Homo-oligomer: A and B are copies of this chain.
Amino acid sequence: MNDSVKLSLEEVASLATESLTTQGFSLQQATAISKTITSAERDGCSSHGLFRVAFYVNALQNANTDAHALPVIDYPKPAAVRVDARNGFCPLALQIGVPELARVAKQQGIAALAINNAYNIAALWPEVEQLAEEGLVAMAFTCANSFVAPAGGNKPLFGTNPMAFAWPRDGKSPLVFDQASSVCARGEIQLHLRDGKSIPEGWAIDSNGNATTDPKAALDGAQLPFGGYKGSSIALMIELLAGALVGDLFSYESTEQDNAGTGAPFGGELVLAIDPTTFNGGHSHLDHAEQLFERLLSQEGTRLPGDRRHRIRAASTPVEIPQSLHQTLLGYCN
């Protein structure tokens, strides 16, 4: 990048925090969001890095947003934790809920955390990775805006509905994946539009339900679930888990409630944590899993999910962001 600015992780964090506090976020909300953004920049995942600050700031235009919200935790059943984000943002709710989920899961063997009433613009991998770093196996599910047609259908209904999973590893970063139920991220279509490129077949349909390779027609139409009806079933499952099960909104309801059209999804998230020492009866689940990973990697052309992110993290070079983004953020700080 020619027109780029190099930042240390500390600079990324303070730039995010200051942008958000100056724009009206409480220090608690801003700090939690900033941590998520900094993790993304650290791992080379710029689409969830400082680029997202604007999404958070724009979300304040929604009538119900509370950038000073203090989340409230309760324990509806022995293996269940619930955090009401009270119309604030997901990172602070997770900061409060995830350590409690870990504690309860270790005690009970398995536990569930429901997040409610949260604006959630972040990726899911930070929370599952955090749990796996505590030795737990974790899954997370959330709905998003209504962009994806169900299999056989031709109109948006589901969100891009990500599912994340993490498995702990001894002395290594956990194995982590965080994947949308759509063939591709919405941002990938937007990048094709920006660059004047057509998109591959199978990503989306136009507003008449016909296959399209035109990114504009795709954005006006509907994205497709990955893997046909199987991905569609997974998207439906995620609507049910992160919507009706936790007593929160489906993707289409979240879209309808986005009164300012900011595109910031509002609703729930479900996180599950399982303590793998529960069942293994002395057999080392960690060593056992490494044998599987070795078998997998012995096949040329394969990789473990999350490897690329962890390699970038290990390299720990300074973060490079476009100068235009840097200017926007400095503008937020005034």
**Chain A residues within CB distance 8 Å of chain B:** 76-80, 82, 107-112, 114, 116, 137, 149-155, 157, 165, 167, 175, 177, 179, 183, 226-231, 233-234, 236-237, 239-241, 243-247, 250, 252, 272, 274-276, 278-281, 283, 285-286, 288-289, 291-292, 295-296, 299-303, 305
CB nearest to A225 among chain B residues = B227
A237 CA to B80 CA, complexed, in Å: 23
**With A107-B77, A240-B289 in contact, is A301–B137 under 8 Å at CB?**
no
Q: List 23 A-B contacts (CB under 8 A).
A: A77-B107, A78-B78, A78-B108, A79-B108, A79-B111, A80-B108, A110-B272, A116-B279, A153-B296, A153-B299, A153-B300, A154-B299, A154-B300, A154-B301, A155-B299, A179-B230, A179-B233, A227-B228, A240-B289, A240-B292, A244-B285, A245-B279, A245-B285
Min C-beta distance of A269 to chain B, whole Å: 11
**With A283-B247, A302-B153 in contact, is A231–B227 under 8 Å at CB?**
yes
The reply to whether B279 and A246 form a contact with Cβ atoms under 8 Å apart is yes
Min C-beta distance of A204 to chain B, whole Å: 15
Additional 4 contacts, C-beta under 8 A, given A77-B109, A154-B300: A80-B109, A80-B278, A150-B302, A247-B280
CB nearest to A158 among chain B residues = B296
The reply to whether B77 and A240 form a contact with Cβ atoms under 8 Å apart is no
- CB contact between A279 and one of B177, B247, B303 (< 8 Å): that residue: B247
The reply to whether B112 and A288 form a contact with Cβ atoms under 8 Å apart is no
A181 CA to B275 CA, complexed, in Å: 24
The reply to whether A292 and B244 form a contact with Cβ atoms under 8 Å apart is yes
Residues of B within 8 A of A167 (CB): 237, 240, 244
Min C-beta distance of A283 to chain B, whole Å: 5
